[in-house]
Chains A and B, each alone.
Chain A
Amino acid sequence: MKGRSEEPWPGGSMRFMLLFSRQGKLRLQKWYLATSDKERKKMVRELMQVVLARKPKMCSFLEWRDLKVVYKRYASLYFCCAIEGQDNELITLELIHRYVELLDKYFGSVCELDIIFNFEKAYFILDEFLMGGDVQDTSKKSVLKAIEQADLLQEEDESPRSVLEEMGLA
């Protein structure tokens, strides 16, 4: 009934992460396993359909193809992670929540528009939080610190390079 295979695959615990709106618009996609463009589109389309058709009181987990999909809706946005069958669904749900917390903290009560207009920031935060599909740091503070430090450079944007290098992060 499910692919509980023990086959290793090169990557962390997550296959991909999608953010999409209630209207079925993709807002963010991160693939941790090489997938062809065509296949990606097909998978996104299919999965969105399946998830959007779920009723509110239903389980947050789904069996989809050979994967387990964990999703959660925050306001108008669906956060959706695909993991392996033998992985822990519940902790993945918490992982989504932690990511939302990080976004919230960074943007200050985050909304869908924040992610639309600053989606590259959302990617930066995700990359700082998950590396190759594995949780990199469970400390919220250090994730945000790293992002903010990189962001600081924005204000210094125009300053010459050598000064920046001097500054570093120390």
Chain B
Amino acid sequence: MPEAPRSGQPAPKGPNWEQADWTPPEEEKLIQQELSNLKAAVSAPTTTLKMMKECMVRLIYCEMLGYDASFGYIHAIKLAQQGNLLEKRVGYLAVSLFLHESHELLLLLVNTVVKDLQSTNLVEVCMALTIVSQIFPQEMIPAVLPLIEDKLQHSKEIIRRKAVLALYKFHLIAPNQVQHIHIKFQKALCDRDVGVMAASLHIYHRMIKENSSGYKDLTGSFVTILKQVVGGKLPVDFNYHSVPAPWLQIQLLRILRLLGKDDQRTSELMYDVLDESLRRAELNHNVTYAILFECVHTVYSVYPKSELLEKAAKCIGKFVLSPKINLKYLGLKALTYVIQQDPTLALQHQMTIIECLDHPDPIIKRETLELLYRITNAQNITVIVQKMLEYLHQSKEEYIIVNLVGKIAELAEKYPFVLVLNTVDTYAPDNAWFIQTMNAVFSVGGDVMNPDIPNNFLRLLAEGFDDETEDQQLRLYAVQSYLTLLDVENVFYPQRFLQVMSWVLGEYSYLLDKETPGEVITKLYKLLMNDSISSETKAWLIAAVTKLTPQAHSSNIVERLIQEFTVSLDTCLRQHAFELKHLHENAELMKSLLPVNKSCEDMVVDASLSFLDSHVAEELSQGAAPYKPHHQRQEEKLSQEKVLNFEPYGLSFSSSGFTGRQSPAGISLGSDISGNSAEIGLKETSSLKLEGIQKLWGKEGYLPKKESKTGDETEAPPVSQESIIENVDPTISKKDPSQVLAQSKEEKEKQLLASSLFVGLGSESTVNLLGKADTISHKFRRKSKVKEAISGEKTNAHNMTRSSFSSPTNVTYEEDYYLDNLRDRRDKELEKFALSAELLGSESLAEPPLVEKLSECRRPAPSLFADDMEVFHPPRSTSASLAGESSLASLLEETTEHMHSDLTEVCNTETMSLSSYKIWKDDCLLMVWLVSNKSGSELEGVNLEIAPAENFKITEQPGCCLPIIEAENTKNFQYSVQMEKPFTEGNLSGFINYQMMNTHAVQLEFSVNLSLLDFIRPLKISTEDFGKLWLSFANDVKQNVKMSESQAALPSALKTLQQKLRLHVVDIIGSEGLLACQLLPSIPCLLHFRVHGDVLALWFRSSCSTLPDYLLYQCQKVMEGS
């Protein structure tokens, strides 16, 4: 081995690696040489473990320099396995540096770790615990868990400490697996050794972060520990620069912060110690400031106490005014945390903030901007945005640009709203400001910014604000500013910006007086001819030109454009050009298709392309294969792969001659039947090899016999048999037509066979669903066409073309539109529902008619009401305001109108009881809390607050805010809850305060469980709409669910789904059902299911990627559970 730097040796002879002017090529040569030597060394049988240790160290070094040493990974594991202690230590180190958590080689280490954990040698145990806490495969945790648990009782504190940390690691990667040992963590918290106790705090911090309410009882212990630490009761060993255990202090402060948040009672327990911490930290050392910072953060996070806040604010002042730049930075950071609670602090330090804004260190500047961003209001917006833009222009790092651009756009879009209202205000930025700011955002943010920004901007512009003339001015200004920008020579704008421009110009150029659309078209045409513009942008540009063409007087340019792009190599552009060409030929049609300023009008999109029906029917009747969407073909292919191939190998149905004659659809059909395309390839090659040999014997035996068997199955005439035999000889590639016919017949039958054999495997249900749903929707379509004959096909066609011209990236919007339309049309379709309900009945589903079912669901209502009536009606003499009464009345209406849950008590005291129930309204979940005063005297200061929860948007309903409840009376608090992102179960917690006459205030906490199902509503759509939606959704999930015996029939399964999951039954076709629902506010989810024996094949589709999974889970629960 050549010389290399090594431990314990003098500096190496030969080339010095560490020389600063070392040139890369030489280094590379040297290391490559070293690596090849090492490669030989590690695999040589003569290499001892001691030498191996040496090799490992060198390999680590090489990897650090950026070279690949993966050949040594396995040897690192071996070294950890076989070496003595020192070698083992290096082996473990190498493993921890080389491998990552999911590396497959790591599994080989598990045995070694298990062995070492059982060792009597402390060093070995320590090593094993160290590696476990660094990298350990999650699925192997059970193998070592009991061993590590045992170590919690070990006599040596170092072992106990490491065991706790290893368990902490497990808690992070697989919390479920360590749940049972929570009680042991408590023991670790009380350990006599400070190190062990400190280690356990990591776990507690994490657990409290996940669920703070579960650990409130430990607050006292944490406070005591912190008191002891602050009071200097720990061994001096733990001091750091004469500050007692700073890491421990910080960890405790973080824990207290989580516990005391929004909880007055818990917070009160910690005020003393926080005060003490603020006071103790007098030493002028970084570490005391670190603790102070944490302490200030905690003081501001827990339930406020003015005295403490004052002190904390003073502390922040110390930071902000410090000449030390690090402290100043933290001061700014602290300000950003607290500024929303205490805006006066910003005023106090305004001069410092202004100074920091021009600080030479960009990080200080940036933190200052972050601070300003949080105190933005209608008055200071222009200045702050100006500052942000300045910083933006200097930034080069993509991350900063993306972030800053997002914030500027957010502010800009937030404030025109406010300011349009009070334009009298001299500070108010005008529309020009908004457009100019956005121009800056687009030109700097360009193609890295979040795509939502241009989309939002365009939507804002199109939808407008409250005042139509203001809106028009805004649009006009945008158009003018873009035209000016486009006039500047030799400036390149980002593609996204150009797209925004072209959309705006296309839509709103009509607002211009002087500049005729023709001139705008000329400008757009110039851009189109520019090579630096992407074809996506060009599509936007052509769309804009198309919109402008009907307004233009002369069409020379347009014609030139058509000429240019109808021969474009880009198919998309060519398509657009052709569309433009055809529209251009019919000026009247074009004008009606492209009306001015109608971008926000809802349009009905005929996504099913129903106007092609007759064409499709014609083709089908002529024997064309039915169309299958791409994903379905894909799925079929996949499922076919798993299926055993029953065909004899020698028989090649799919020789090139055969496939060559089919239409494209036919090819996919053929390949689906005989296996995937790869298999076809295989067959072809194998038959090629046999060329010229008469094929009598195949792998399955004598061939003619086999084939006649196939013949029998297919009941094909003898002719085809012969032809198949002929076909065995691949030299004969021509076939007579009858054979093709026979084959296709055979295929059809096979398809049938397959569909009955592999039911529920996924692909098959596709065939049925789409096949049948199609025919059904045809029927419906005919009907609806008759009905809506007036609106007729014209509008359909109109909308079709129109949609193809609307901006290419707005697909999502269209989907939304679509949904809105569906909802609008719901009423009309109610008639149809009555019809379909009848249909359902006639199909003897043994299912109660819709109306009856609904009333069934509401059955608890009367009893609840009987209770409520008394409680709800306050005596007229009470001071209940009008609003309160009306809300009561409306509540009553609501309860009768909507389904609701039973009344359950969530908490109570002697004097008061709090109950709640859910009302499943159409547009939200309404949570109602009833506070009833059980005592004989008044309750005062009644206040109910719901803590903001991560996944929910909670809005208090007006009209229930009287803080006094009369004796023996009840008051209700209503909150409407919306779900922000799908989840299975969530928790809504809050507290209620009240005060009895002349006594102290009482605060009670409570919480209510919410399930996904609380936010699911039936989506009432027709089969036709179902089909359209189904095709437009990209996210799907399939699963076979076993049903419990009681459910194992279609009607009962249907009933369960309908009642328990609130799905709407769209249609039932044979043993298949179509159901639809929506997650509030408007995320649709469709379900197709099919019953087969006791298996329910479920197939969900939605526009939301996670919703199907969650719904599936709920489905499984109800189907298996009941």
Contacts and interface: CB of A to CB of B under 8 A. Distances in A.
The finding on whether chains A and B are genuine partners in a shared complex, rather than unrelated, reads: yes
Contacts of B158: 142, 146
Nearest to B123: A150
A119 B369 CA distance: 41
Given A61-B329, A91-B287, A116-B18, A139 B101 contact: no
A75 interface: no
A2 to B, nearest CB: 7
A154 interface: yes
A116 B202 contact: no
B237 A140 contact: yes
A135 B237 contact: no
Given A131-B165, A134-B202, A1 B407 contact: yes
Contact of A28 (B64, B289, B325): B64
A58 B361 contact: yes
A126 B102 CA distance: 23
Nearest to A8: B209
B290 A61 contact: no
A93 interface: yes
A26 interface: yes
A142 B237 contact: yes
B118 interface: no
A88 B245 contact: no
A23 B61 CA distance: 17
B172 to A, nearest CB: 5
Nearest to B245: A138
B25 interface: no
B325 A57 contact: yes
A132 B162 CA distance: 11
A69 to B, nearest CB: 10
B403 A60 contact: no
Contacts of A138: 198, 238, 240, 245-248
B5 interface: yes
B84 interface: yes
A102 to B, nearest CB: 12
A98 interface: yes
Contact of A1 (B90, B206, B404): B404
B400 interface: yes
A149 B363 contact: no
A98 to B, nearest CB: 7
Contact of B330 (A28, A58, A90, A127): A90
Contacts of A116: 5, 18
A136 B199 contact: yes
B941 to A, nearest CB: 33
B245 A132 contact: no
A32 to B, nearest CB: 8
Interface in A16-55: 23, 25-30, 34-35, 41
Interface string B212-239: 0000000000000000000000010110
Contacts of B1009: none
Interface centre among A11, A121, A138 (most CB of B within 10 A): A138
B247 A26 contact: no
Nearest to B5: A117
Contacts of B960: none
Interface residues of A, number: 68
A138 B361 CA distance: 32
A111 to B, nearest CB: 12
A131 B361 CA distance: 33
Given A90-B290, A168-B120, A123 B93 contact: yes
A88 B134 contact: no
B172 A131 contact: no
Interface of chain A, main secondary structure: mixed
B173 interface: yes
Nearest to A54: B361
Interface string B264-295: 00000000000000000000001101110110
Interface string A84-128: 000011110111001000000000000001001111110110011
Nearest to A35: B100
Interface stretch (B6-14, B308-316, B605-613, B695-703): B6-14
Interface in B839-893: none
B320 to A, nearest CB: 14
B646 interface: no
A61 B326 contact: yes
B370 A25 contact: no
B448 to A, nearest CB: 13
B237 A141 contact: yes
Interface in B1057-1110: none
B363 A164 contact: no
A65 B399 CA distance: 5
Contacts, number: 188
Interface size class of B (residues with CB under 8 A): 35 or more
A117 B7 contact: yes
Interface string B85-98: 11001100100110
Nearest to A170: B122
Contact of B286 (A90, A119, A140): A90
A12 B171 CA distance: 12
B66 A41 contact: yes
A132 B134 contact: yes
B133 A132 contact: yes
Contact of A157 (B18, B66, B84, B294): B84
Contacts of B247: 91, 95, 135, 138
B65 A10 contact: no
A11 B237 contact: no
B953 to A, nearest CB: 17
B121 interface: yes
A31 B181 CA distance: 28
Contacts of B399: 64-66
A116 B165 CA distance: 29
Interface in B352-409: 360-361, 363-364, 366-367, 369-370, 373, 397, 399-400, 403-404, 407
Interface string B159-198: 0011001001100110000000000000000000011001
B57 interface: yes
**Which residue of A93, A95, A119, A137 has the most chain B CB atoms within 10 A of its CB atom?**
A137
Nearest to B102: A34
Contact of A10 (B165, B173, B290): B173
Given A63-B366, A116-B18, A26 B290 contact: no
B101 A12 contact: no
A108 to B, nearest CB: 14
B680 interface: no
Contact of B134 (A1, A127, A168): A127
Nearest to A117: B5
Contacts of A165: 119-121
B97 A137 contact: no
Contacts of A2: 366, 370, 403
Interface in B745-777: none
A153 B289 CA distance: 41
B232 to A, nearest CB: 14
B449 to A, nearest CB: 14
Nearest to A136: B165
B363 A123 contact: no
A157 B158 CA distance: 23
Nearest to B85: A153
A139 B122 contact: no
B250 interface: yes
Contact of B6 (A58, A117, A164): A117
Given A8-B206, A34-B101, 14 more contacts: A1-B403, A1-B407, A23-B20, A58-B361, A59-B364, A63-B363, A89-B329, A93-B286, A95-B247, A113-B11, A119-B60, A119-B64, A123-B97, A138-B245
Interface of A: 1-2, 8, 10-12, 23, 25-30, 34-35, 41, 57-66, 88-91, 93-95, 98, 113, 116-121, 123-124, 127-128, 131-132, 134-142, 146, 149-150, 153-154, 157, 161, 164-165, 168-170
6 contacts: A1-B400, A59-B329, A95-B247, A98-B240, A120-B7, A134-B202
Pairs A-B, 5 closest by C-beta atoms:
A90-B290, A91-B290, A169-B122, A139-B237, A34-B100
